[in-house]
Amino acid sequence: MSDHTPLFSFPSLKDWSLSATLAGILASTMGYAGPLVILFQVAESSNLNDTVLSSWIWGMSIASGLLCGWFSLRYRMPLLFAWNAPGSALLVTLVPGIPWSDVIGAYIMSGSILLFLGVTGLFERLVNRLPLTLAAALLAGILVNFSLALFSEMTQSPLLGLVMFSAYIILRHLLPRYAIMLTIAVGVGVLAIIYDLSFHQVEWQISTPHWYMPSFSLTALFSISLPLMLVAVSGQFIAGIAILRQDKYLPPSNQIVAGSGLMSILFAPTACHGVNLSAITAAICTGSDANYDSKKRYIGPVVAMLCYFIFGIFSAALVSVVQAFPTVFIAMVAGIALLGALEGSLSQALSQPAEREAALCTFLITASDLMLLGLSSAFWGLVIGGSIIFVQRYLTK
């Protein structure tokens, strides 16, 4: 894309299409269908109240919407942004035991690292040097606990679990793009029969964010910021940019990373853990199904921006709707929603024979309850895995 592109211009009416509009609605809605429930597990494990959850959803929704609107209109590309979904899975085990103000500070530090990588142009150099197998193993080590919980919860509600899991396996092959959303719909249908669902306590009111003061610590930097940043880079930015290039776009990589980092810093005080280029739902807006004309597909993320704003404005109602469902259902949805990500992470982690041993150790250490010097298993997984690769490369010289 030319550097002479105007900083901002409104979309032309002739560029609007029903297909791109539906793609934007679907892409943004899918982001809430599965990954959102992981935030509720973070809140439960860390004893966070509904006020924090509402502000968290408000922040990540508004931040994602602003990035979608700005970059898609600025570059006339289908640049879809979302919150760091794999990162939210990390937080279930990383946040407990760390002061909340330090957690907010960790979000800011993670965003600052991304901003630095984008502004200096070091992002692409980091990608070339970063052992993607280790980053994938780190993510897999976190996600495996959600998948195990999926099957553990079947003890409490075997009918619900078996029906949802079976539906997911079938839908993953028949309608892979909609598998998670349809599986959730199947689960809701089962709940409507066996469980007394009630939404009478839902309050449809406009939400406002709460601002939390940050504090900074080395423990939070190593235990939260670095793993959060690495997962965003390896699991979101790289994959998202690859999808765009696959569809013949040339995205401004460094600007995307810098913009995401800046927005993550600005919205961290609302409890937003970070926003980035979307990878999971990006293909919905970048492919020919969105519009046969590749120059008009940017409308999808523009529509997604409006959807994000609506979800953010009514974040408190969204929290109360999710809480109307039983906890076993929330755990099952989280496990099912992350099965695909776990599969991809394991495949990437074990893809390089020379790094397979290091990746396996990173995976096992991250999945464990290891805690040394106040630092989490995710940190030690990366350190030990990286050390193994360094030693192996040194010994083979």
* pLDDT tens readout for residues 314-341: 888 877 777 677 778 877 877 787 777 7
- Residue 7, class by beta-carbon neighbours within 10 Å (0-12 exposed, 13-18 middle, 19+ buried)? exposed
pLDDT at residue 343 in the model: 81
Q: How far apart are the first and last CA of the chain?
A: 42
| Burial call 122-136: b when 16+ CB within 10 Å, e when fewer | ebeeebeeebbbbbb
| Burial call 30-57: b when 16+ CB within 10 Å, e when fewer | bbbbbbbbbbbbbbeebebeeebbbbbb
Distance CA 100, CA 102 (A): 5
The closest alpha carbon to 340, from 33, 130, 110, belongs to 33
Q: In a 3-state reduction of DSSP, which class is residue 259? A: helix
Lowest mean pLDDT among 44-48, 275-279, 375-379, 384-388: 375-379
pLDDT band at residue 144 under the 50/70/90 scheme: confident
Distance CA 225, CA 114 (A): 10
Q: Are 271 and 59 in contact (CB under 8 A)?
A: yes
- Higher-pLDDT residue of 212 and 10 is 212
pLDDT at residue 2 in the model: 44
pLDDT at residue 128 in the model: 66
Q: Which tokens go with 344?
A: 């991809």
pLDDT at residue 66 in the model: 96
DSSP per-residue string spanning 119-166? HHTHHHHHHHHS-HHHHHHHHHHHHHHHHHHHHHGGGT-HHHHHHHHH
- Give me the mean pLDDT over the 8-29 stretch: 78
pLDDT band at residue 1 under the 50/70/90 scheme: very low
Is 348's pLDDT higher than 60?
A: yes
pLDDT band at residue 256 under the 50/70/90 scheme: very high
pLDDT at residue 208 in the model: 85
**267-298 pLDDT per residue, tens:** 999 999 999 998 766 777 887 767 888 888 89
pLDDT at residue 81 in the model: 94
The closest alpha carbon to 28, from 337, 300, 320, 341, belongs to 300
Residue in the block written with tokens 């984008």: 118
Q: List alpha helices for the chain, DSSP H.
A: 18-33, 36-46, 50-75, 85-94, 100-120, 122-129, 132-152, 158-174, 179-194, 218-220, 226-232, 238-246, 253-267, 282-286, 299-313, 315-323, 327-337, 339-349, 356-367, 377-395
Is 394's pLDDT higher than 50?
A: yes
Is 160's pLDDT higher than 60?
A: yes
Give the number of other Cβ atoms within 10 Å of residue 275's Cβ.
33
**174-223 pLDDT per residue, tens:** 887 677 778 888 888 888 888 777 666 667 778 889 999 999 999 999 88
- Give me the mean pLDDT over the 304-315 stretch: 91
**21-70 pLDDT per residue, tens:** 877 887 787 777 666 778 888 888 888 888 898 999 999 999 999 999 99
Is 3's pLDDT higher than 60?
A: no
Distance CA 254, CA 243 (A): 16
What pTM, to 2 d.p., does this model score? 0.73
